[in-house]
Amino acid sequence: MNTPAKAAGPINIEPALTALAAALHGEGPAVELSIGGDGALVVGHLETPGCDDAVAVVRTSGSTGAPKATVLTVESLAASSMATALALKGEGQWLLALPVQYVAGIQVLVRSLFAGTRPWVMDMSHGFTPEAFTAAAQELTDKIRFTSLVPTQLQRLLDEPSPETLAALRRFNAVLLGGAPAPASLLAAAREAGVRVITTYGSAESCGGCVYDGFPLEGVSVRVEEDGRILLGGDTIAAGYLESPESTDTFFEEDGVRWYRTSDLGSIDDDGRLTVLGRADDVIITGGVKVSAAHVQEELEKSDGVAAAFVAGVPSAEWGQAVAAYIVLADPAPDAAPGAEAGDTAVVLEQHWHRTLGVLAPKTVLAASGLLMLPNGKPDRLAMTAELKARHQGK
């Protein structure tokens, strides 16, 4: 049975809290949260054959393929909540500023239930705005305060912030930042503004962020395979996928430890800090040369006039794959003539990249007003790749 909640203003999380509490105590079925067409929260209940202690089913974002239904258990959620509290040096009140149907959103509710605190819900009926975030943050009453954001949200909050927004941000004991790589410039701006940001790495399969500022949480193990693939292990790992619980390629046990094989590449330094280098599927082989899409994206975003970029490989008759870039323009490129149009600016940037980046330079560039995003704030890689393919036309 699905139970809709009232849609006016902030979503009503009461039915979700009630259903999750029952599932955590073994008194109800697994919960799946979604948002209906009218913007109301819908609390669904699912059967999870073979997993009696399932609490929640969370769909992955679907940024690189069809969403998978990830089964989170009492054990994995409890381990995640305890490790988070240890890392943050306490339990407190959480502000929900992310879609509740994704793992970062549902974790705000679960952590609050374990802590016995009251989460506050931001009104996102008109999208994420600094004004709405500030108003919600000002309603928090606990002395210890936390929230989870994606980089795009934090960037909006720090772009010419009001004194009220800055004050609200500074009152958080920690702002967990995940969902996408955070540009160094954004982290520097946050530090300068006095905002305590912790970068997180994880996914629905690991109950959300389980690596903070490069280091695994208590009870979490991280290792990197020979091919560079990141593996996450420990009690926070999900039971598996609802549709394919026996997926041994992704989930497996070794010496009593449950592991999840991610789709990301990384490295671990001598201090044990994990650096995420990009997705395993982001390697573009163009003209026989292997190119990292994440590295090219980083180089493009260093250019004056580029606010954000997404890079992908697209089919090419000449190169096998061609490097293609979806870019968001900020100020005009340095060499652009006064009054130049966006298309002119993109051409100037293309010429500059071909001079400076060589084989890394994108052969197709699409300039837009913003990156295409999924509801959880992650880039919509599939949609942007499709547009780049259509623009390149297989040349």
> Do 115 and 82 meet the contact criterion of CB atoms below 8 Å apart?
no
Residue that has been written with the tokens 């202690």 in this structure = 53
Confidence of residue 336 (pLDDT cuts 50, 70, 90): very low
221 strand-pairing partners = 233
Q: Which one has a higher pLDDT value, 67 or 390?
A: 390
| pTM (predicted TM-score) | 0.79
300 three-class SS: helix
Q: What is the pLDDT of residues 20-29, one digit of tens each?
A: 999 999 999 9
Does the pLDDT value for residue 5 go beyond 80? no
Residue 117 vs residues 177, 210, 243: alpha-carbon distances, Å: 21, 22, 34
Token pair belonging to 189: 């701006």
Count of Cβ atoms closer than 10 Å to residue 145 Cβ: 20
**What is the rounded CA–CA span in Å between residue 251 and residue 237?**
9
What are the counts of helices (DSSP H) followed by strands (DSSP E) for the chain? 10, 23
**Phi and psi (nearest 5°) for 357?**
-105, -15
User: Which residue from 255, 249, 225, 219 is spatially nearest to 237, judged by alpha carbons?
Assistant: 219
Average pLDDT (9-21) is: 94
Name the burial class of residue 201, with classes exposed (0-12), middle (13-18) and buried (19+) by CB atoms within 10 angstroms of its CB. Answer: buried
**What is the rounded CA–CA span in Å between residue 358 and residue 91?**
50
Does the pLDDT value for residue 238 go beyond 50? yes
> Do 105 and 97 meet the contact criterion of CB atoms below 8 Å apart?
no
**What is the rounded CA–CA span in Å between residue 313 and residue 316?**
9
The separation between CA 72 and the C-alpha centre of its own chain, rounded to angstroms, equals 18
Average pLDDT, the chain: 90
pLDDT for 247 equals 60
> Do 333 and 303 meet the contact criterion of CB atoms below 8 Å apart?
yes
pLDDT for 291 equals 87
pLDDT for 376 equals 78
Q: What is the pLDDT of residues 282-329, one digit of tens each?
A: 888 888 788 889 889 999 999 988 999 999 999 988 888 999 999 999
3-276 topology per CATH: Rossmann fold (3.40.50)
**What is the rounded CA–CA span in Å between residue 227 and residue 213?**
23
Confidence of residue 8 (pLDDT cuts 50, 70, 90): low
pLDDT for 317 equals 82
**What is the rounded CA–CA span in Å between residue 186 and residue 181?**
10
Token pair belonging to 121: 């819900």
Q: How is the chain split into domains, by residue range?
A: 3-276, 287-392
pLDDT for 344 equals 77
pLDDT for 305 equals 87
Sequence-ordered alpha helix ranges (H) in 130-271 = 130-137, 151-158, 163-170, 184-193
Token pair belonging to 325: 């870039």
Sequence-ordered alpha helix ranges (H) in the chain = 14-24, 74-88, 103-115, 130-137, 151-158, 163-170, 184-193, 293-301, 342-356, 381-392
**CATH superfamily name and code, 287-392:** ANL, C-terminal domain (3.30.300.30)
User: Which residue from 98, 68, 127, 64 is spatially nearest to 384, judged by alpha carbons?
Assistant: 64
Token pair belonging to 130: 């600094």
> Do 309 and 294 meet the contact criterion of CB atoms below 8 Å apart?
no
Residue that has been written with the tokens 């954000």 in this structure = 308
